[in-house]
Structures are given as structure tokens and as C-alpha cells.
């Protein structure tokens, strides 16, 4: 579904990622693991048209997207829930979900989709008329993911979805991510918590200092000391 080949990207003239090759098959959950500053967010930003592509290509369902703008990338079927500033704090939960469906115009099924979202995330249904800024950290992250789903994406990009959450809230959100995949959405997410990520991922990439140093199925990643890789690169 997604193929990233020989990617070299960053911001302006600053290069963050070098020689990145990533492959995501339809129906997979793929984790990108790495320490702070490794370039994980830049990888997602590169896919979503928010970084500068210097070399290489990004192909989604056979179509090059590395020269496309974010709003066009949403239209081809990719949605993104960033780690920060991922909801509209002064809008209600329902209004946030409606904003997530902006590319669908007057689609009469939007209301039904909001009900489906609430079936998946009953935790935020109870807060549907509250402003997003009044939600707990876990509820806000669920809303960010839910908002991204409202464009009916084929692939969902998630940046550190459990960052700052309690262990209980983080585990719940990971369970929801698996449910989203089971509903037919392919997922690429970045995460620092190796154990939590490899519990739900099919495979993973280890990104250190802007380069991928390991690719393996999740079962194999669970057998090695990935945190050691973060610091040694070997």
C-alpha cells in the first residue's frame, strides 16, 4: 500500500532523514521505534507533505504522493493524527469530528459515521458536547484519532499516540488502534514504548539518528534489546 524508497528529507535545507526505505502492506499495523530526535515525526511529516523531500519517492497505492500537498494527500486516503495540537480545543467533541470530515462536503452519511465513532470510542461520546480542552489526556488522544478517522482513510498515521498517558490509558488506546485496523484501516505509527508497540504491531522499523538500522516482524523485535539499539546503533 505504501512504499518509501531512498528518502532523504527534512525541513528547508536541514536534512533529518537519510536513505529511508519503508514498506507497508494493506491491513498491517507497522511501528516505527526510536529515541527522541531520531526523526520519527519527520518520517510521518514527509509522508503527509509537511516536510521537504530532497531525494527519493513516496508511493501510495501505486501513486507518487511526495510532491502533493496535505489536503490532497487526505483525499487519496491518508489521514494523520499528530502528537501535539491534534484537536481544536475550543470546539466540542462533535464539532471536532465534523471538522475531520471536511473533505466530504455535505455527505449525508457523516452523522452515521459519528455514531460509529462513538461505538468505537464510548469514552468520548459521554463528553460529546464538551469542549476538547476540558478532556483528559487519554480522551483528547482518542478524539484526535477519531477526528482523523472521519475522512474515511485507507491509511492512518499516528505520532506517539500514547505519549504522556497513564499506563492504563495508553493500553486502552493501543487496544483501540488494533480495533481500527480490524475495521479495515492500515496503520503506520511511531512510538517510544517498545513493549506497548510490539504487542499490537505486525512489524517494525528501528530509526536512530535519521537512519533505519533494523526492520523485523514484531515477534522478532520482542526478542532483542531495542533500547540498546537506540543508544548504540548496533
* Domain spans in the chain, listed from the N-terminal domain onward: 2-88+153-232
In the predicted model, what is the mean pLDDT of residues 19-48? 96
pLDDT in the model for residue 7: 98
Q: How confident is the model at residue 232 (pLDDT cuts 50, 70, 90)?
A: low
Beta strand pairing call for 63-64 and 52-60: antiparallel
pLDDT in the model for residue 229: 74
164 pLDDT above the threshold of 90: no
In the predicted model, what is the mean pLDDT of residues 174-181? 94
Beta strand pairing call for 155-159 and 211-217: unpaired
pLDDT in the model for residue 234: 55
CATH number of 2-88+153-232: 3.40.50.300
pLDDT in the model for residue 2: 98
In the predicted model, what is the mean pLDDT of residues 135-144? 92
225 pLDDT above the threshold of 90: no
160 pLDDT above the threshold of 80: yes
| pLDDT above 90 coverage of the chain, percent | 77
pLDDT in the model for residue 32: 97
In the predicted model, what is the mean pLDDT of residues 197-212? 94
pLDDT in the model for residue 114: 94
Beta strand pairing call for 63-64 and 29-33: unpaired
Q: How confident is the model at residue 145 (pLDDT cuts 50, 70, 90)?
A: very high
Average pLDDT, the chain: 92
Are the C-beta atoms of 132 and 87 separated by less than 8 Å? yes
Q: Kindly report, residue by residue over 183-193, the tens digit of the pLDDT.
A: 999 999 998 88
pLDDT in the model for residue 233: 58
Q: Kindly report, residue by residue over 50-101, the tens digit of the pLDDT.
A: 999 999 999 999 999 999 999 999 999 999 999 888 999 999 999 999 999 8
Amino acid at each position: 500500500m505504501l512504499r518509501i524508497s531512498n528518502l532523504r528529507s527534512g525541513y528547508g535545507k536541514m536534512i533529518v532523514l537519510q536513505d529511508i526505505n519503508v514498506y507497508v502492506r494493506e491491513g498491517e499495523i507497522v511501528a516505527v521505534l526510536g529515541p527522541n530526535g531520531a526523526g520519527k515525526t519527520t518520517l510521518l511529516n514527509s509522508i503527509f507533505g509537511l516536510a521537504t523531500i530532497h531525494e527519493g519517492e513516496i508511493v501510495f497505492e501505486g501513486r507518487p504522493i511526495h510532491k502533493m500537498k496535505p489536503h490532497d494527500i487526505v483525499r487519496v486516503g491518508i489521514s494523520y493524527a499528530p502528537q501535539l495540537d491534534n484537536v481544536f480545543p475550543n470546539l466540542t467533541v462533535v464539532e471536532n469530528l465534523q471538522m475531520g470530515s471536511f473533505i466530504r462536503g455535505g455527505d449525508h452519511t457523516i452523522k452515521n459515521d459519528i455514531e460509529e465513532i462513538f461505538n468505537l470510542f464510548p469514552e468520548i461520546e459521554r463528553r460529546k458536547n464538551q469542549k476538547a480542552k476540558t478532556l483528559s489526556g487519554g480522551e483528547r488522544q482518542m478524539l484526535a484519532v477519531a477526528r482523523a478517522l472521519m475522512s474515511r482513510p485507507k491509511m492512518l498515521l499516528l505520532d506517539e499516540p500514547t505519549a504522556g498517558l497513564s499506563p492504563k490509558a495508553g493500553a486502552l488506546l493501543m487496544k483501540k488502534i488494533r480495533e481500527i485496523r480490524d475495521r479495515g484501516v492500515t496503520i503506520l505509527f511511531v512510538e517510544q514504548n517498545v513493549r506497548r508497540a510490539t504487542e499490537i504491531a505486525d512489524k517494525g522499523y528501528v530509526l536512530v539518528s535519521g537512519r533505519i538500522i533494523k526492520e523485523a516482524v514484531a515477534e522478532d523485535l520482542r526478542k532483542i534489546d531495542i533500547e540498546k539499539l537506540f543508544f548504540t546503533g548496533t
